[in-house]
Amino acid sequence: MSFSPAWVALMTMTKRKYMINKQRSFAPARNGERSDSGRRGASAPSRGKFNSSHSSHSKPSFHSKSGGSFGSKKRSSGGKKRFGGERIDFSRFVKKAQMIKEIPYVSKHTFSDFPFNSQLYKNIAKAGFINPRPIQDQAIPSVLAGKDVFGMANTGTGKTAAFLLPLIEKIAKTKGQSKRETVLIMAPTRELALQIESDFKNLAFGFGMFSVCCVGGLPIMKQISELKMGVSFVIGTPGRLRDLIARKVLDLSQCHSVVLDEADRMLDMGFRDDMVFILAKCPKEDRQTLFFSATLSPEIKKLTTEFLKDPVFISVISGETAKNIDQDIVRVRTKEEKLEKLHEILKKDGSDKVLIFREMKHSVDTLTKELNHLGFKVGSIHGDKRSRERIRTLDAFKQDKINILIATDVAARGLDIPDVTHVINYDIPQNYDTYVHRIGRTGRSGKSGTALTFVPA
C-alpha cells in the first residue's frame, strides 16, 4: 500500500508533536520553576542515586494492577522493592515499640550559668525553659565563645534555642556600635524558617531587635521593604535569599554570624549551589559559622571543611529510629482496599492526631477530598499551596482544630508538631532515611507513637 507525500508529511508531523509532548510531560522543572521541595529545576543537578524530596516534577510512580501507587512496577522476592535506586526491605518498617525508660540527661549547666542579659533570662523563663536540653547545654558555651560549631541532633531536640539564645546575646552586646552586625539563618523549608522567626520573636522580646523572614510564597516586596529598614536577623530559604542578593537588596558584607539549620536537608533538596553562593557573600574572615544537621554525609563533611574553622563537633543523635514508636506495615491489594483500611485505622480509638504522607502533590489533594467526603476533619500541605494557606493548616493541626494532616515530604523535617499519635506512610518513601525522618514526627518527648506503612500484598 502506498501513501501520498502529503499523508506521509502529516503523519511525520503528528508523530513529532507526540514525542515532544511526551518529553515535556516527563521533563524536570525548567530554570526558575520550583518543585515541592523548593528545588530549582536547572540549577540543582542530582547528586546521588536518589533524591529524598519529591514533587509533581519527580519521576512518576507506577501504579500496580490493584490501583495503588507503590513507586515501582517490579517487585523482588522477600518483600523488597527498589525505590529511586535504593532497595528497601519491608521488614525494616516493622519494629515493636520498646518502652524503655531513658536515663534523664544531666545538664552540666543551668541557664543561669550562661552570661546572658537579664532580659534574656526573663524571656527564657517565659518560654518555659527549665534546664538546658543536651544540644543547648553543649552548644551554647561554644557559640558564646565565638567558636564555629557543627551540631548533630535529631529534629525536635531544642537546637533552635541552642543557636538563637547565644546569637541574641551576641547582637545585644553590639547594639549601639557604628557598624550594624547581621545574623543570617538558612533553613530548608519556609515552614521551618517561619517557625525559627516565631521563636526568635519570643526569645528576643524587649531587645528592640528586628527580623525578616525571606521565603518564597510570601510577598517579596514586603521582605525588601523590611530589609531596607534594617534588621538584625535575616531568616530564610536559600532560593529566596539568593533572589534578594541578585536584586541587590540583601547585603551580607556585615554578616559575621551564619547558621545553616538542617544543612543535610538543604543538600537533599538541591540547594548546594545556593548555599555555597550565599556563604561566599559573607565575610570570609571574622565569621562565626554554625552547622546543624541530623546526618554527617560526605557532602556535609566537605562543606564543613570548606566553611568552618576549627569547629567544635557536638553530637546528641539518638538511635536509628525511636524505640517508643510501634512500627508496622499494612498490606493491601487494591486501591479500594487501601482506602478502606485507612478508614478503619482513622476510626480506631487512639488515632487522635494523624500525619499521613504521600509522594505526589495531586495524590495529597485526592486523598484529602476522599477523607473529607468520609466526614474526617482533614487538612493538607504541599508545595503548590500558598504559604498563608500552609501556615493556617499547620496551625489548625497544632491546635487540634483538625486531627488529620496529609502532606508531601515538605513536612517531614524540622517542624515542631506536638502530640502526633500516628504517622502513616500511605505511599512508600523513596529511601529509608526519608522513612526515619517521617516517623520522627511521632513518639516525641518520651511519648509513645505508631508508624504504619502501606505496602502491596
Could you tell me the pTM of the whole model? 0.69
Q: For the residues 118-128, what does the mean pLDDT come to?
A: 95
pLDDT of residue 382: 87
Both 124 and 190 in one domain: the answer is yes
pLDDT for 397 beyond 70: yes
Among the listed residues 366, 46, 395, the one whose alpha carbon sits nearest the alpha carbon of residue 195? 395
Asked if 276 contacts 246 with a C-beta cutoff of 8 angstroms, the reply is no
pLDDT of residue 87: 65
Cα–Cα distances in angstroms (integers) from residue 48 to residues 1, 222, 272, in the given order: 51, 37, 13
Percent of the chain with pLDDT over 70: 74
The DSSP annotation for 173-206 comes to HHTTSSSPPEEEEE-SSHHHHHHHHHHHHHHTTT
Both 120 and 183 in one domain: the answer is yes
Q: For the residues 233-251, what does the mean pLDDT come to?
A: 96
In a domain, 63, yes or no: no
In a domain, 139, yes or no: yes
Three cell numbers written together for 316: 546528641
Mean model confidence pLDDT for the chain: 80
Both 288 and 150 in one domain: the answer is yes
Among the listed residues 438, 385, 406, the one whose alpha carbon sits nearest the alpha carbon of residue 265? 438
pLDDT of residue 42: 37
Both 84 and 120 in one domain: the answer is no
Stated as kind and residue range, the H or E segment containing 123 is: helix 118-126
Q: How far apart are CA 161 and CA 257, in angstroms?
A: 15
Asked if 190 contacts 381 with a C-beta cutoff of 8 angstroms, the reply is no
Confidence band, pLDDT 50/70/90 cuts, at residue 72: very low
Confidence band, pLDDT 50/70/90 cuts, at residue 403: very high
Q: For the residues 70-89, what does the mean pLDDT come to?
A: 49
pLDDT for 85 beyond 70: no
φ, ψ of residue 32 to 5 degrees: the values are 95, -25
In a domain, 376, yes or no: yes
Q: Which residue range(s) make up the domain with 143?
A: 111-315
Given 277, 298, 315, the domain boundary residue is: 315
The DSSP annotation for 251-291 comes to --TTEEEEEETTHHHHHHTT-HHHHHHHHHTS-SSS-EEEE
| CATH number of the domain encompassing residue 171 | 3.40.50.300
Q: Which residue is listed with cell 524558617?
A: 193
pLDDT of residue 10: 45
Given 298, 315, 332, the domain boundary residue is: 315
pLDDT for 29 beyond 60: no
Among the listed residues 440, 449, 450, the one whose alpha carbon sits nearest the alpha carbon of residue 156? 440
Cα–Cα distances in angstroms (integers) from residue 209 to residues 128, 167, 234, 330, in the given order: 21, 12, 11, 50
The DSSP annotation for 429-440 comes to -SSHHHHHHHHT
Asked if 449 contacts 420 with a C-beta cutoff of 8 angstroms, the reply is yes
Total domains in the chain come to 2
Both 350 and 394 in one domain: the answer is yes
pLDDT of residue 71: 38
pLDDT of residue 324: 78
Confidence band, pLDDT 50/70/90 cuts, at residue 322: low
pLDDT of residue 415: 67
In a domain, 248, yes or no: yes
In a domain, 26, yes or no: no
- Quick one: CA dihedral 190, 192, 197, 198, positive or negative? positive
pLDDT for 191 beyond 60: yes
pLDDT of residue 383: 79
In a domain, 69, yes or no: no
Output Rg (C-alpha) for the chain, integer angstroms.
Answer: 24
pLDDT for 55 beyond 50: no
- For the stretch 411-435, pLDDT in tens is 555 566 888 999 999 999 888 878 8
Three cell numbers written together for 364: 495529597
β-pair type (211-214, 233-236): parallel
Q: How far apart are CA 156 and CA 160, in angstroms?
A: 9
Q: How far apart are CA 186 and CA 165, in angstroms?
A: 16
pLDDT of residue 37: 43
pLDDT for 57 beyond 70: no
Both 139 and 199 in one domain: the answer is yes
pLDDT for 100 beyond 60: no
Q: How far apart are CA 40 and CA 29, in angstroms?
A: 7
Among 1-15, 88-102, 228-242, 273-287, the range scoring the smallest mean pLDDT is: 1-15
CB count within 10 Å of CB 119 equals: 14
Cα–Cα distances in angstroms (integers) from residue 51 to residues 195, 205, 376, 409, 432, in the given order: 25, 39, 32, 11, 12
Among 61-75, 165-179, 257-271, 360-374, the range scoring the smallest mean pLDDT is: 61-75
Of 362 and 93, the structure prediction assigns the larger pLDDT to 362
Both 276 and 334 in one domain: the answer is no
pLDDT of residue 51: 36
Q: How far from chain centre, in Å, is Cα 225?
A: 27
Both 272 and 139 in one domain: the answer is yes
Among 13-17, 57-61, 113-117, the range scoring the smallest mean pLDDT is: 57-61
Both 267 and 347 in one domain: the answer is no
Both 225 and 134 in one domain: the answer is yes
- 106: which residues sit within 8 A by CB, 6+ positions away? none
229: three-class secondary structure by DSSP: helix
Both 89 and 119 in one domain: the answer is no
pLDDT of residue 413: 58
Three cell numbers written together for 423: 504517622
pLDDT of residue 79: 58
pLDDT of residue 384: 83
Three cell numbers written together for 397: 493541626
In a domain, 92, yes or no: yes
Cα–Cα distances in angstroms (integers) from residue 157 to residues 134, 253, 414, in the given order: 8, 32, 10
- 221: which residues sit within 8 A by CB, 6+ positions away? none
Q: For the residues 246-260, what does the mean pLDDT come to?
A: 95
Both 197 and 264 in one domain: the answer is yes
Confidence band, pLDDT 50/70/90 cuts, at residue 259: very high
In a domain, 309, yes or no: yes
Q: Which residues pair with 356 in a beta bridge?
A: 406, 424
pLDDT of residue 40: 42
Given 281, 315, 349, the domain boundary residue is: 315
